[in-house]
Amino acid sequence: MIKIYNASTQEMDDPGKAAREILESLDIKNKLLKNSVALLFCNVKFIETGVMESVCKSLPFDVLGCTSLYFGLPVKAGTPSTEGAPTIEGEFILTVTVLTSDDISFSTGISGPINDKNAEECVQELYRSTASSAGEPPSLVFAFPPTITSVPGDIMAAALDRACGGIPVFGSVALDMNIHIQHPKTVFKNAGECGAFGDRMTLLLFRGQVKPRFFYSSFPEKSILSWDAVITEAVGNRIITINNRPALSFIKDLGFFKSDTHESVMLYPMVVEYPNNQTDVVVLQDVSQEGHLMCSVKVKTGGVLNIGATTANSVLEGAKALAQGLKSSGRGADFIMFSCFLRNVVLGGSSKEEFDLIGHELEDYPGSWLFVNSGGELCPCYRKNGDTVNMFHQYALIACQF
C-alpha cells in the first residue's frame, strides 16, 4: 500500500520560510512509513528564487518532478473542492507530494543531457542505471521528460517504453508556457545532486506489488475541421511542406497567424490522419526560422492534417466522466492527476473551472489527490484483455490511482 501526503507553499521570496511551511504541513516525523520519495511541481519562478532547492534539501529522501503552471489540491484528504470549500489552487504554487510505503520501495534516476542525436541512448541508460539497484524488478514507472523542441515527447516516451519492456509508465512533460515555450525544467534531488534541468529526464521506479489504476480523457479525435491538407514533406517532428507548399505559408493563407505567429501557435490542436487509420493529436510547439512547423510528436508524409475543433464543453464533459470513473472505481484511494495545458487554453487561460468541476464530483472522495497542468501526458491505456499499453497523449486529462 502507498500513502500520499500533499503539501504546498506560495512563499516565493524566502526559501527558508517555504521549506519550513512544507515540513510543518507534511509532519513527516509522524507520518512516514519505511520507504519514501517525493514529487515536486512548481512554477519556474520558485526555481529562480531558490525556493525549490531549499525545499528539496530540507526533505530527507529523493525528490523529482517538473515545472508546471496550474496546481490544485484540497487542503486535506477528503476536503471537498467545491465553491467556498478550503482548497489551494492557482499558478504560483509549489507542491510536494510524498509517497510512502512499508511494502513498496522506490528508486530514482536522472538522465544525461538529451538531444536529437542521443535521445534513445540517454533514455535507455537512464532506465538501466535506475533499475540496476538491488531488489525485485520494477512494476511501475513515473517519468518526467524535459521539453526539447527538437526531441518531441512521443520519441522519449517510446524510448522509455522499449527500455522498460512495457512496464506501465505514467508522468508529465515539463511545462512552462506563456505565449510560447519559455524555460521548462525537470527537478531532481538525491544524495549527490540537486537542481533543475532543461534537457534531462527524471525517473521514479516502484518495486513491489503496486496495483495502480489508470484513467484518461483524451482529445475528441472525431471533432475535426477539415482543410484538405496533406503533409508532403516532413522530417522528425518538423512539417516542412503542406500540399507541396511551405507549411507556414499554407497555414497563413487559411487565415491563421495573421498577426504574431507566436500568439496563435499554441491555440489550435491538430489531428493527423494517416492512410493506415492511425490518428495522432499534435500540438504545434514553435515555428522555425525556415517556416517549418515544430510539432510535439513525430510526423510523417502522407498524413492528412486537420484542425481539431475541441470546445470548453468537451473538456469539461471529459473531466466529469473521468472524475466519476475515479469515484466509482471502488478503491477510494489516493491519486495524482495531470491536465494538458492546452485544455487550460480552451477554457480561456485557466484550469480553475476544470479543477473545480472535478472537486465537486469528488466532494465525498476519501483519498488524497493533486491536480497539475502538463506539457504532454504519459499514461497507459487498457487493451480488451485488461493489459496496459503505454501511450503518449496530447490534450488529455490523466490520473494514476493507487
Based on the number of CB atoms within 10 Å of its own CB, is 236 exposed (0-12), middle (13-18) or buried (19 or more)? middle
Q: Among all chains, which residue has been given the C-alpha cell 500533499?
A: 6
Angle among Cα 162, 36, 363 to the nearest 5 degrees reads 90
As a whole number of angstroms, the distance between CA 370 and CA 353 comes to 15
Would you give the end-to-end CA distance of the chain in angstroms? 8
What does each of the 402 residues of the chain score in pLDDT, given as a tens digit? 899 999 999 999 999 999 999 999 998 888 899 999 999 999 999 999 999 999 999 999 999 999 999 999 976 544 443 444 457 899 999 999 999 999 999 999 999 999 999 999 999 999 999 999 767 899 999 999 999 988 989 999 999 999 999 999 999 999 987 555 689 999 999 998 999 999 999 999 999 989 899 999 987 666 667 778 899 999 989 999 999 999 988 888 877 766 554 545 556 678 888 988 888 888 787 788 898 988 888 899 999 988 777 788 889 999 999 999 999 987 768 999 999 988 888 888 889 999 999 999 998 888 889 999 999 999 999 998 889 999 999 889 999 999
Q: Is 277 exposed, middle or buried (0-12, 13-18, 19+ CB in 10 A)?
A: exposed
Name residues whose C-beta falls within 8 Å of residue 88's C-beta, 6 or more positions apart in sequence: 8, 71, 72, 73, 74, 75
- Residue in the block written with cell 493529436: 281
Q: What does the alpha-carbon distance between residue 351 and residue 43 come to, in Å, rounded to a whole number?
A: 15
DSSP string, 86-144: -EEEESS-EEEEEEEESS-EEEEEE-----TTTHHHHHHHHHHHHHTSSSSPEEEEEEE
Q: Which three cell numbers stand for residue 80?
A: 471537498
- CA dihedral sign of residues 165, 166, 170, 171: positive
- Is the distance from CB of 274 to CB of 303 less than 8 angstroms? yes
Q: Which three cell numbers stand for residue 74?
A: 484540497
Rounded to whole angstroms, the Cα distance separating 154 from 160 reads 10
Q: Give the closest residue to 260 by CA, choosing from 181, 344, 179.
A: 179
